[in-house]
């Protein structure tokens, strides 16, 4: 579903009949149990790790992220200059999956004590240029980001500026995580196809592959990608919460797992963090690496506790380069697939989200549509401190 937002019909019961209390947003986050996050938090909660969310911005008014945001920046067509204006909701959703604080019954992130570095690379939720993404990645590295979350993908293979920015991140000991995309195609575009990047596909409840994931030999890990509950700005969705489908969400969950590992092993370099996540993944399909789920679904508990021998470098990366200062010709550069022969189209490439692929609003009575391109302002609503019980009547939203 690269470049498309689809609202799906969904029925959400926020409180089971006879329940003693209203169900919280955290209770609706099935992926937490699937990944063993409660157990993982007994070992690490991501304390102090800086995760850059290079996206549409991160709303600094969400209570779910209270105290989690560092001063950010904006590039390209970003709304504002500090990374905290999110007219689309995508970046806020990803940041919450990584570091949500579960404030007042809200959403919990995989690494709730990590710090989010908001890097907005476009005001429009659908379209970013590779230039703005590359600038955002480079800036984030210079601010000391330990993990860089790229919940976005492109149809083309690569451009030199994006390759240079990612290699710059590797040279400065950052873990880079990116989504494979949501078209269900055998194609992994940039930046996920750059060697050394953790390319993330999706899974569903029960650990089966999410069939809308893009796949290919570049796939490294998988994580939950369907009906993932997270927070969004109330200016986008009145309730402040939504369910999302897509490898964007899966990418954020893996970034959260990387933050847990970096906090647990503060002296471990990025290459060994990547190796630990790979070596401890739960194999889902045929033995070994496969195109659909890579080495398997990320397992935060095993990544934190297993005995994993150290490696000399990132096992996904090509042999060390003399320097990343010179930009190699695209067709010959290490770490990328051969780009399409369409002249300089790569520099004009529109980068699509790796997925706010499907959205359904969490409300007690109705499901509202999340129009990702809408600029119509909505009046703010009070923060819901407790999720109310549902009525007997539910609405289903239609695809559009």
Q: Which of 26, 263, 49 is nearest to 148 (CA)?
A: 49
Residue 21 lies in a domain: no
The whole-number pLDDT of residue 124 equals 62
* Band of residue 341 on the pLDDT scale cut at 50, 70, 90: very low
Residue 338 lies in a domain: no
Give the separation between CA 148 and CA 256, rounded to whole angstroms: 10
Residue 268 lies in a domain: yes
Are 14 and 389 in contact by the 8 Å Cβ rule? The answer is yes
Query: Looking at the predicted structure, is the pLDDT value of residue 238 above 70?
Result: yes
Question: Average pLDDT of 338-358?
Answer: 37
Are 201 and 377 in contact by the 8 Å Cβ rule? The answer is no
Q: Which of 21-30, 252-261, 314-323 has the highest mean pLDDT?
A: 252-261
Q: How far is C-alpha 74 from the geometric centre of its chain's CA atoms?
A: 18
Concerning whether 120 is annotated as a catalytic residue, the answer is: no
Q: Which of 175, 105, 189 is nearest to 137 (CA)?
A: 175
* Band of residue 29 on the pLDDT scale cut at 50, 70, 90: very high
Range of the domain at 237: 6-15+44-319+345-361
Question: Average pLDDT of 335-348?
Answer: 34
Concerning whether 367 is annotated as a catalytic residue, the answer is: no
Query: Looking at the predicted structure, is the pLDDT value of residue 367 above 80?
Result: no
**3-class DSSP state of 108:** strand
- pLDDT tens for 186-237 read 999 999 999 999 999 999 999 999 999 999 999 999 999 999 999 999 999 9
The whole-number pLDDT of residue 292 equals 96
Residue 33 lies in a domain: no
Give the separation between CA 6 and CA 370, rounded to whole angstroms: 9
Q: Which of 304, 291, 223 is nearest to 259 (CA)?
A: 304
Instruction: Please pick, among 31, 44, 55, 212, the residue that the annotation labels catalytic.
Output: 55
Give the separation between CA 162 and CA 135, rounded to whole angstroms: 8
69 beta partners:
116
Q: Which of 62, 50, 67 is nearest to 139 (CA)?
A: 50
Give the separation between CA 100 and CA 179, rounded to whole angstroms: 20
Residue 26 lies in a domain: no
Residue 138 lies in a domain: yes
pTM of the full predicted structure? 0.81
- The pLDDT mean for the chain works out to 79
Question: Average pLDDT of 166-176?
Answer: 97
Concerning whether 248 is annotated as a catalytic residue, the answer is: yes
The whole-number pLDDT of residue 336 equals 39
Domain count, the chain: 1
Residue 248 lies in a domain: yes
Residue 397 lies in a domain: no
The whole-number pLDDT of residue 286 equals 82
Report percent pLDDT > 90 for the chain: 66
Are 359 and 236 in contact by the 8 Å Cβ rule? The answer is no
- Count the neighbouring beta carbons within 10 Å of the beta carbon of residue 186: 11
Query: Looking at the predicted structure, is the pLDDT value of residue 99 above 60?
Result: yes
The whole-number pLDDT of residue 79 equals 83
Instruction: Please pick, among 41, 60, 86, 90, the residue that the annotation labels catalytic.
Output: 90
> Residue 191 belongs to a domain with what CATH number?
3.40.50.200
Instruction: Please pick, among 132, 201, 248, 367, the residue that the annotation labels catalytic.
Output: 248
């Amino acid at each position: 579903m690269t470049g498309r937002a689809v609202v799906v019909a969904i029925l959400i019961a926020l409180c089971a009949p006879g329940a003693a209390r209203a169900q919280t947003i955290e209770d609706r986050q099935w992926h937490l149990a699937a990944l063993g996050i409660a157990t993982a938090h007994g070992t690490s909660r991501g304390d102090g790790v800086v995760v850059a969310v290079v996206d549409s911005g991160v709303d600094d008014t969400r209570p779910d992220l209270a105290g989690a945001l560092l001063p950010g920046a904006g590039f390209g067509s970003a709304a504002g200059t500090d990374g905290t204006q999110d007219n689309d909701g995508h970046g806020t959703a990803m940041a919450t999956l990584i570091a949500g604080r579960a404030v007042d019954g809200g959403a919990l992130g995989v690494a709730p004590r990590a710090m989010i570095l908001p890097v907005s690379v476009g005001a429009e939720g659908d379209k970013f240029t590779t230039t703005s993404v590359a600038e955002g990645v480079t800036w984030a590295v210079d601010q000391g980001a330990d993990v860089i979350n790229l919940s976005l993908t492109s149809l083309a293979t690569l451009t030199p500026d994006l390759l240079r920015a990612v290699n710059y991140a590797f040279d400065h000991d950052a873990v880079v995580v990116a989504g494979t995309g949501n078209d269900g195609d055998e194609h992994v575009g940039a930046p996920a196809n750059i060697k050394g990047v953790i390319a993330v596909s999706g899974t569903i409840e029960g650990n089966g592959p999410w069939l809308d994931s893009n796949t290919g030999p570049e796939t490294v890990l998988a994580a939950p990608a369907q009906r993932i509950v997270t927070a969004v700005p109330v200016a986008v969705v009145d309730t402040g919460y939504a369910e999302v489908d897509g490898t964007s969400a899966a990418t954020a969950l893996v970034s959260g797992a990387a933050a847990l590992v970096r906090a647990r092993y503060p002296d471990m370099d990025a290459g060994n963090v990547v190796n630990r996540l790979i070596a401890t993944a739960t194999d889902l399909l045929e033995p070994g690496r496969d195109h659909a789920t890579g080495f398997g679904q990320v397992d935060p508990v095993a990544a934190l506790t297993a005995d994993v021998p150290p490696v000399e470098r990132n096992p996904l990366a090509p042999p060390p380069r003399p320097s990343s200062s010179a930009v190699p010709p695209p067709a010959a550069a290490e770490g990328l697939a051969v780009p399409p022969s369409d002249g300089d189209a790569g520099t004009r490439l529109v980068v699509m989200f790796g997925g706010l692929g499907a959205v359904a609003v969490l409300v007690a009575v109705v499901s509202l549509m999340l129009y990702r391109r809408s600029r119509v302002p909505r009046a703010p609503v009070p923060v819901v401190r407790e999720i109310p019980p549902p009525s007997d009547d539910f609405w289903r939203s239609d695809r559009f």
